[in-house]
Amino acid sequence: GMRRIQVGVTGMTCAACSNSVEGALMGLKGVAKASVALLQNKADVVFDPDLVKDEDIKNAIEDAGFEAEILA
């Protein structure tokens, strides 16, 4: 089955920032949906846990230049 997590993302200051986080997440094989809420500093991510781990999600956000924390 799919896994859904919420990730706290800090450092985003404009819509281009949140778009780049979404793009980074959607670029991971196994991520089905990535929705980033700029004003809430959060990302909602749905993915196949056989292909992507929580840590990969966190790392992709950090590689894009932001801080990430898995919330739930």
Binding site for ligand 9UX (CB under 6 A): 13-14, 16-17
Name the residue nearer to ligand 9UX (CB basis): 1 or 13: 13
Enter the tokens of residue 45.
């991510």
Name the residue nearer to ligand 9UX (CB basis): 25 or 52: 25
State in angstroms the smallest separation of the CB of 58 from ligand 9UX: 19
State in angstroms the smallest separation of the CB of 25 from ligand 9UX: 16
State in angstroms the smallest separation of the CB of 32 from ligand 9UX: 25
Cβ atoms 56, 1 nearer than 8 A: no
Cβ atoms 27, 60 nearer than 8 A: yes
**Nearby residues of 40 by Cβ (< 8 Å), 6 or more positions away:** none
Cβ atoms 12, 18 nearer than 8 A: yes
